[in-house]
Amino acid sequence: MLLNLPPIPPTRIDFSEDDSAWIAARITEVLKSGRLTLGPYTEEFEAVFSTYCGARHAIAVSSGTSSLEIILRSLDVAGKTVLVPADTFFATAAAVIAAGGRPVLMDSDIATMSTSPEEIARRITPDTVGIVIVHIAGIVTDRMPEIMALAQSRGLWVMEDAAHAHGSTLAGKHAGTFGRAGSFSFYPTKVMTSAEGGMIVTDDDELAAAARIFRDQGKASFHQNLHIRMGNNWRLSEPHAIIGLRHFSHLDEMIRNRRRIAGIYNEALGAGRSRFVPILPPEACHANYYKYPVMLPNGVDRSAIKAWLRDEHGVNCAGEVYELPLHRHPVFAAYDTGDLQQSEHLCSRHICLPIFASMTDDEAHRVITALRAAEEREIGRG
C-alpha cells in the first residue's frame, strides 16, 4: 500500500460527539414521553425539509422504498403502465409493481445517467399514465424542462426518485419538486441519513393527504381506527426523525465538502485530461455528488482495476450505480424489451471513486495518484 497509509473508504457517515449527545438527549426525552412515532420531531423534520426543498408538503415515512410506493398508490397506477429507467435501484420498479402497475423500462442517457425526452416519447403507449425520473448520483439532467413539457403535452404525470439527490438543484430548483411528487431516501449510505427513513415532497394537497393516510395503515386519522385505504405500516419513528433532523442540519455543509472533493477530481480528470472520464453534472445543475462515477477506458476490466486500486493504493471504490440494469436481474427478466443497450453499457463500464463529506484533500489526491498509476501501467487490460 502506498506509503503504508490507512485505506480510503468508499464512503463514511459522520456524526460528531455533539451530534451524538444532541440525539441521545432527545431520544431519552421521547422515551419518557411515550410518543415514539408520528410525534413533534417527525413534524419538525417534515417542516424543515419542505421549506428547504421549496415544496408545500413533506411527508416522512419509513424508507425511500415506501415513499415510492405511497406516491404510486396515491396516483392510482393499478392496472396501468409507468415508464421507469432501466438504470436504477430495484425499489423504483418494484414499487410500481407493488402498487399494482406495470413498469416499462427506458434506456439511459449516458451523459447524465438519466433518460431523454426522445426515449420517453418512444416508450409511451395508450396505457401509460406517468414517468419516473431518477436523479442518479445526485445529477439532475438539464433536460428536465423538456421532459416536463413532453409529459404535459401527453397528459402524463412525472414523479422523481430523488433518493440520491438531497440538495441537488437545476437552475435553482430542487430535485423532487419538478413533478407531482418527489421521493427521498435517508438510508445510511446517502448524503444525509436518519438511519432508516424516507420523505415525500409535493405541492399537491390531495396527494399529500392520501400519502399521510397510506403511511399509517390506511387509517382515516392517527387517532381513529377506521381504515379507508389499503395502506401499510410506513410510519417514521421519533428516534429516526431525531437522527434525521440532526444530520439534515449539516446537509449544506456536507454538500459543500463533497463538491470540494469533486472539484479536485474534476480538475484532474475532466476536459480530456485522463482516459478515466467522469460523468459530470450539467452546467445548470448544482449536484450534491452523492457518487462520483467515472467511465472506464475501453478494454479495462472493472473488477481487476478496483482490486488493484484497493490492494496497491488502499483506494476502496464505492459500489456502482448500478452494476446491472433492472432487466438483468432475474426478478425483472420479463420486462426486458431487448433494446436497452445504453443502460447495459453505462452499468458495465463505470466505477465510483471514494467521496464523502469528511474526506480530505490529501485523500482525494491519493485517489488521483492511484488512477494515474493505473493508467500508466494499463491495469485491468487483458
Looking at the fold, whether 160 and 39 belong to one and the same domain comes out as yes
Encode pLDDT of 284-339 as tens digits. Answer: 999 999 999 999 998 999 999 999 999 999 999 988 999 999 999 999 999 998 89
Q: Please count the structural domains in the chain.
A: 2
DSSP state letter for 348? H
Dist. CA 287–CA 259, nearest whole Å:
8
Instruction: Tell me whether residue 27 is in a domain.
Output: yes
Whether residues 256 and 229 fall in one domain:
no
What integer pLDDT is reported at residue 305 of this predicted model? 96
> Does residue 12 sit within a domain?
no
Residue 205's Cα: distance from chain center in Å? 24
Of 224, 248, 272, which residue sits at a domain end?
A: 248
Report which DSSP code applies to 236: P
Among 257, 215, 233, CA closest to 46: 215
CATH number at residue 340: 3.90.1150.10
Q: Is the pLDDT of residue 1 over 60?
A: no
Domain-embedded: residue 169: yes
Are 294 and 269 contained in the same domain? yes
| Inside any domain, residue 199 | yes
Q: Is 275 left (phi over 0), alpha (psi -120 to 50) or beta?
A: alpha
Could you give the residue ranges of the DSSP H alpha helices within 270-382? 302-313, 341-348, 361-377
Domain of residue 206 covers 17-248
* Domain limit, last residue, from 214, 248, 282: 248
| pLDDT over 60 at 3, yes or no | no
pLDDT at 130: 98
Question: Which pLDDT score is estimated for 292?
Answer: 98
pLDDT surpasses 90 at 222: no
Residue 272 lies in a domain: yes
Q: Examine the domain organization and report whether 140 and 205 are in the same domain.
A: yes
Q: For residue 9, tell me if it sits in a domain.
A: no
- Give the Cβ contact number of residue 47 at 10 Å: 11
The answer to the question of residue 8 being in a domain is no
124 and 267 both lie in a single domain: no
Indicate if 263 and 220 belong to the same structural domain: no
pTM of the model: 0.96
What's residue 2's pLDDT? Answer: 53
Single out the residue in 197, 221, 248 at which a domain terminates: 248
CA proximity to 5, closest of 378, 372, 367, 276: 367
Q: Are residues 188 and 316 located together in one domain of the fold?
A: no
Question: Are residues 297 and 212 part of one domain?
Answer: no
